[in-house]
Structure 1
Amino acid sequence: MKLIHAIHRCDVFMFIWFMNRKHLEFCARCSRWVSRTGDGYLYALLGLYWFASGDELNLALLKSALLAFAIERPLYFIVKNSLRRDRPAAAIRDYRSFIIPSDRFSFPSGHTSGAFLMATVIAAAYPACLPAWYGWAGAVGLSRIFLGVHFPTDVLVGLAMGTTVAFLSLGVFLT
């Protein structure tokens, strides 16, 4: 239990460090836009494109992404609702986030998990795009911190969960 409290104290320290940056308002405005790119709409559009293309590689990517999300989303909900970690606004006195989150708990970050899942699936087929997609996924994760709805470890675990599930799924459909 002491380890969990030590991690939480470190997490709160890092979160407050992020929140004390000079250009926080600008970061929050940009973060709203970046965060919305991880809401899932773009994933659906990309999936429709992969399906409509009929290309064998794109169909394998679609199957991999669908399997990955079929594993990741239930896992995400189970972890989030089992651990029930409060969001920063509930955990830190006199703190208000820049947005109202869609649910109560923060661990892990579902936006980050989904973004890294998609980045990993796409990068598996198009490795030259890896820096761009992982950069975007990282920006989605950071946006969740700058918006004040996640602690840094929420984002790190989301990164690990999305990437791991994507690799497992890719192993089924891509050789």
Structure 2
Amino acid sequence: MKTLLFNVNKVDRIVISEVYTWRGKDFFDSFFCNISKSGDGPLYLFIGLLLWILDPQVGREIVMAGLIAFSLELPTYKIAKLLIKRKRPFEKMQGIQFLLPPPDRFSFPSGHTASAFLMWVILSHFYPFWLIPGLIWASLIGFSRVYLCVHYPSDIFAGITLGILCARFALFII
């Protein structure tokens, strides 16, 4: 297990170092900051309420699935952060700086990524035409967190897993 964690950490650091070399280009810095901000949370509530108004029956189910999924995802990711207490890349790696300040202290797992993938699974379940665009958007949110140097790639993969599992469970329940 120790060897696995060592290798994951090694790959995480290599990827962060490589991605960090892409920074400093105004377009990309701005693009990934804005993509990341789109995953802050208020957009999800807005989407749910808008769909409830525009498509009441499906919108209600989306809101119900979202409430169940987020009621699982949020405490799980917060507990994981407090138990694991992984420092963020900019704290552990010399010469690495973040572009946007992180919303909390610890890195693992990525809450932004978990929420984005949770929403992707729920929305694409009810509206299959969102499958590809939603996957691209959620993936860009995950990548943006690495680009901004607030998460390691393994934090992103953990967030993807958490978001998908919570959404699938919520859809199973409703």
Same fold (TM over 0.5): yes
CA distance in 2, matches of 1:17, 1:24: 15
Deviation at 1:130, TM superposition (A): 0.5
**Matched residue, 2:144:** 143
Which residue identity lines up with residue 126 of structure 1 in the other structure? Y
**Matched residue, 2:6:** 5
Indicate the RMSD between aligned Cα atoms, in angstroms. 1.5
**Matched residue, 1:41:** 42
Which residue identity lines up with residue 103 of structure 2 in the other structure? S
Contiguous gaps of at least 5 residues in structure 1: none
Q: TM-score, normalised by structure 1?
A: 0.93
Runs of 4 or more, structure 1, over 6 Å off, are none
CA distance in 2, matches of 1:54, 1:115: 21
The residue correspondences of 1:25-174 to structure 2 (distance < 5 A) are 25-53=26-54, 55-173=56-174
CA distance in 1, matches of 2:37, 2:143: 13
CA 1:78–1:128: 2 relative to 1, 3 Å = same
How many residues align? The count is 173
Contiguous gaps of at least 5 residues in structure 2: none
Deviation at 1:132, TM superposition (A): 0.5
Deviation at 1:54, TM superposition (A): 6.5
Which residue identity lines up with residue 143 of structure 1 in the other structure? S
Give identity over the alignment, percent.
Answer: 31
CA distance in 2, matches of 1:150, 1:159: 13
Q: TM-score, normalised by structure 2?
A: 0.93
